[in-house]
Amino acid sequence: MATGNRTEISEFIPMSFSSLPTEIQSLLFLTFLTIYLVTLMGKSLIILVTLADPMLHSPMYFFLRHLSFLEMGFNLVIVAKMLGTLLAQDTTISFLGCATQTYFFFFFGVAECFVLATMAYDLIMNQRTRAKLAAASWFPGFPVATVQTTWLFSFPFCGTNKVNHFFCDSPPVLKLVCVDTALFEIYTITGTILVVMIPCLLILCSYTLIAAAILKIPLAKGKHKPKSNNSPESKKLLSLSYTVVTPMLNPIIYSLRNNEVKNAFSRMVCKTLALRNCIP
């Protein structure tokens, strides 16, 4: 329903894969489905193994379980809908569905940043402290996601409902708004700085202090000024990397190359299958 130059939008149309031939979309579906299943299997194994083995009840593995659960949720919010779109060839998503996807994208993303920051200090935690820090890591996701999503989807939308992305991310949805969004953009930039930079600084501080204490080397200061590429296609590729590929690789990075986790997994398999000669 149109009113003047404004349009009441009841659904959105993500446009990322709609222009591709059906054969390519089918190949993408199989590729993303394989990655998604591998990711779920890897995360589930991490959670099961670290829960089942008493030797992996340290703070590091406690937070690794939280990180795995968050990444499973993050992956479910983005990839599950994308797979459905590729399979059914239906690219539409309801207004509420788009808002819900945006909300949980913010929530899981913010919580993951703070869990990663908390993991950098696992060596100085006891059991009570780690539970409180885990709760504190999850909490910022609620206000950030609530404020940003509610504010974004309270704007009036004009004309097209086509989102130039493969999910309802804030920047492409914001381009469909037909009023001044300067204040919202200032809030978004400020929130990004606080949510991303503070955990990064905490992690860097922790690792720098550890390195300085062990190696006894002077701290070096350096400047790094990354070059930004603002093209929509590059943003889509970047989004694919951190929403699809990175969650699949994290179990390998954090766990499967860790001897403690591999030994615990072997013990769990041996006990489950009642095999002899298990790793003690």
Cα 69 to Cα 254: distance, rounded to the nearest angstrom = 14
Give the pLDDT of residue 96.
93
Give the pLDDT of residue 243.
63
Domain identity same for 27 and 125: yes
Domain identity same for 200 and 275: no
Domain identity same for 157 and 245: no
Domain identity same for 167 and 243: no
Domain identity same for 241 and 122: no
Q: Which structural domain, as residue segments, surrounds residue 202?
A: 11-217
Number of domains, the chain: 2
**Structural domain includes residue 2:** no
Give the pLDDT of residue 247.
63
Domain identity same for 92 and 130: yes
**Structural domain includes residue 225:** no
Cα 124 to Cα 141: distance, rounded to the nearest angstrom = 24
Q: What is the CATH number of the domain that holds 172?
A: 1.20.1070.10
Domain identity same for 121 and 256: no
Record the tokens describing residue 38, joined without a space: 């591998």
Q: Find out whether 67 and 115 touch, Cβ atoms under 8 Å.
A: yes
Placement of tokens 């089942």 in the chain: 52
Domain identity same for 182 and 259: no
Give the pLDDT of residue 265.
65
Domain identity same for 165 and 81: yes
Domain identity same for 107 and 243: no
Task: Report the 3 state secondary structure along the chain.
Answer: CEECCEECCCEEEECCCCCCCHHHHHHHHHHHHHHHHHHHHHHHHHHHHHHHCHHHCCHHHHHHHHHHHHHHHHHHHHHHHHHHHHHHCCCCEEHHHHHHHHHHHHHHHHHHHHHHHHHCCHHHCCHHHHHHHHHHHHCCHHHHHHHHHHHHHCCCECCCCEECCCCCCHHHHHCCECCCCHHHHHHHHHHHHHHHHHHHHHHHHHHHHHHHHHHCCCCCCCCCCCCCCCCHHHHHHHHHHHHHHHHHHHHHHHHHCCHHHHHHHHHHHHHHHCCCCCCC
Domain identity same for 189 and 97: yes
**Structural domain includes residue 90:** yes
Give the pLDDT of residue 184.
94
pLDDT tens, per residue, the chain with 280 residues: 444 455 578 889 888 777 778 888 888 889 989 988 988 888 888 888 888 888 878 888 888 889 889 988 988 888 888 888 888 777 788 999 999 999 999 999 899 888 888 887 776 777 778 888 888 889 989 999 999 999 999 999 987 888 888 889 898 999 999 899 999 999 998 988 888 777 777 777 766 766 666 666 444 444 444 544 555 666 666 666 556 666 666 655 555 556 666 677 677 767 666 665 555 5
